[in-house]
Chains A and B, each alone.
Chain A
Amino acid sequence: MKILVCISKTPDTTSKIAFKNGNTQFDEAGVQWILNPYDEWYALVKALELKEKDASTVLHLITIGTADCDPIIRKALALGGDEAIRVNTDSNDSYSIASQIAAIAKEGAYDLILTGKETIDYNGASVPGFIAEILDMPYVSLATKFELNGTIATIDREIEGGEEVNEVSLPVVVGCQKGMAEQRIPNMRGIMAARTKPLKVVEPIAVDALTSVVNFELPAAKAGVKLVAADNVAELVRLLHEEAKAI
């Protein structure tokens, strides 16, 4: 059994979002980088659980990015995994990113490809779908639970107003979200072990991007809250009905 977990570095949720060069580039100054929480808490930890159940499982991590991703990769390896692969290219076109991952996944003949449901920076929610289509594999999105019995995966996924249980034969691509696993904190042994785990740097394949970011904008500031006295709830209802037209 071979598992590939796709990880990405993203700005910490509390980071100030600003842009530079005429709003064409994200301003990384002072930004604290973290592992994308969906990749870390759900995809990676689920893979670790599978490896703990079956020690023969081979678990590889992959990220697409330049050398500044390495600290995040080491952090992920501190949680677990046998080795990491970094494809040495930078892009914000999800199709290009997914094409790089798919090329590595194809070569490595992985049985299971796990990703977070989306990253918290570009929120595209598209990388796992791209990978699945390029590799012609089934894809289960918004997965909340995953169990493996031989080569049959039983996966719960979110649907409108509930969940459904999917049964699918490996190989499969799964986009993970809350429910899949619980967040873990790396221990000292893991952190030490991560330093010596292999981190392979691979050069990218040639891919034509399908989209390009022209520029970024920040939302207009809120006008400010209109406070209503706690003993005048009727006024709030009037405002919501007449002014905001929300009820």
Chain B
Amino acid sequence: MSVLIFVDQTESHIKKSSFEVLTYGAKLAAQIGTTAEALVLGTVNDDLAGLGKYGVTKVHQVANETLNHVDAQLYTKVIADAVTATGATVVVMSHNITGKAIAARVSARLKAGLVTAAIALPDTSNGFTIKRAVFSGKAFANVNIATPIKLISLNPNSFHVALGEGTATVEALNVTVDPSKIKVTAVHKVSGEVPLTEADIVVSAGRGLKGPENWGMIEDLAHELHAATACSRPVADSDWRPHHEHVGQTGVQIAPNLYIAIGISGAIQHLAGVNRSKVIVVINKDPEAPFFKAADYGIVGDAFEVVPQLTAEIKKMHNS
């Protein structure tokens, strides 16, 4: 009976979303009166004992290099074996790209009820009920898990990372790792950019920018804010920007702390991809743009005048 937190890594470094999940898992363990333990798959260069700062007492590691790549089938078997070996009754992971690949598999293997896209700690006063986002962020559902083992995948950017004191003991976990049935033949990473789904701040632009040649000012603003860049669907469909930047109902769904939408009208399909952002800023010359209704802050004005000023003002703030 413990909470086991799956810590996701990429290129031998722990992903940002994992720190959020560690905090969540530790709080959950305190709530139900048990200990929180972490599970790390593959080899990592980060300080695993240091994960104690997030509230875990123990870190189990399966330091097998095959696991440096996410194969849903292998990961599932290893995580399920780890759950059995540690006697965990609650398993927590991020609803990130890895979580989406493995959560359901682990759930089916362990017959552990799964709530994906969770946004809050469970209500354990009467059962084990977790709030999750549904209808593309337009509503929430409270879902009860009745099975002995429970599995939660947490929506990224829905829980504040809390750092405390402490060191965790790191233990090697002996689990058989099968050979992968999937061969990775190539990896294309967009270097030097902040990955969209991991970004704290996202600067996004739409058709209001008139053409791909005008994206320089968007990139300047994103650079100044250490933000990822994104775009609306018409922009990606016109090949002004790569498809992986398209946020919206049929593109990438994101929930950053700050979303700055420039020259995007805010069609409901676009909002479905960004409405879980904490703070939304809209810059549009059309005061009737529907996006203003979903925004926290707005400027009615010409992007070509406002955006360079915004970059300059932020630079000024960073330098002061």
Contacts and interface: CB of A to CB of B under 8 A. Distances in A.
Interface of A: 11, 13-14, 17, 19, 37-38, 41, 94-95, 98, 117-118, 120-130, 132-134, 137-142, 144, 154, 158-169, 175, 178-179, 210-219, 222-223, 225-230, 233-234, 236-237, 239-241, 244, 246-247
B108 A247 contact: no
Contacts of B310: 233, 236-237
A161 B197 CA distance: 8
Given A13-B136, A167-B185, A213 B142 contact: yes
Contacts of B293: 222, 225
* 9 residue pairs, one from A and one from B, having the closest CB atoms: A230-B301, A129-B104, A161-B195, A126-B104, A210-B113, A162-B189, A133-B108, A246-B258, A133-B105
Given A164-B184, A240-B281, A120 B298 contact: no
Given A160-B10, A226-B298, A138 B72 contact: yes
How many interface residues does chain B have, given as a range?
Answer: 35 or more
Contacts of B244: 158, 162-163
B297 A225 contact: yes
A87 B249 CA distance: 27
Interface string B113-149: 1111100000000010101011111111111111100
Given A133-B105, A168-B183, A225-B298, 8 more contacts: A123-B136, A127-B104, A129-B103, A129-B108, A154-B185, A226-B297, A246-B257, A247-B201
Contacts of B302: 230
Given A141-B72, A211-B114, A217-B142, A230 B187 contact: no
B97 A142 contact: yes
Contacts of A133: 76, 104-109
Contacts, number: 270
Given A133-B104, A139-B101, A165 B142 contact: no
B136 A120 contact: yes
B298 A227 contact: yes
A240 B258 contact: yes
A128 B306 contact: no
Contact of A228 (B71, B201, B298): B298
A227 B72 CA distance: 46
Contacts of A128: 104
16 contacts: A11-B135, A17-B138, A123-B117, A125-B100, A130-B105, A130-B107, A160-B198, A167-B185, A178-B251, A210-B147, A215-B142, A233-B310, A236-B281, A237-B310, A237-B317, A244-B258
A165 B189 CA distance: 11
Contact of A227 (B117, B133, B278, B300): B300
B101 A129 contact: yes
B139 A218 contact: yes
Contact of A160 (B127, B142, B195): B195
Contact of B197 (A14, A123, A160): A160
Nearest to B271: A13
A227 B299 contact: yes
Contacts of A233: 299, 306, 309-310, 313
Contacts of A162: 187-190, 195, 244
Interface in B191-207: 193-198, 201
A213 B298 CA distance: 37
B225 A217 contact: no
B311 to A, nearest CB: 9
Contacts of B103: 126, 129
Contact of B115 (A118, A211, A246): A211
A129 B269 CA distance: 26
Interface string B286-305: 00000011111111111001
Contacts of A163: 187-188, 244
A141 B187 CA distance: 15
Nearest to A167: B183
Nearest to A239: B297
Contacts of B298: 225-228
B57 interface: no
Contacts of A160: 10, 15, 96-97, 195, 197-198
Contacts of A38: 250
Contacts of B309: 233
Contacts of B100: 117-118, 125, 129, 141-142, 175
B183 A94 contact: no
A237 B144 contact: no
Contacts of A216: 134, 139-142
Contacts of A227: 292, 297-300
A93 B73 CA distance: 22
Given A95-B107, A130-B107, A211-B113, A237 B140 contact: no
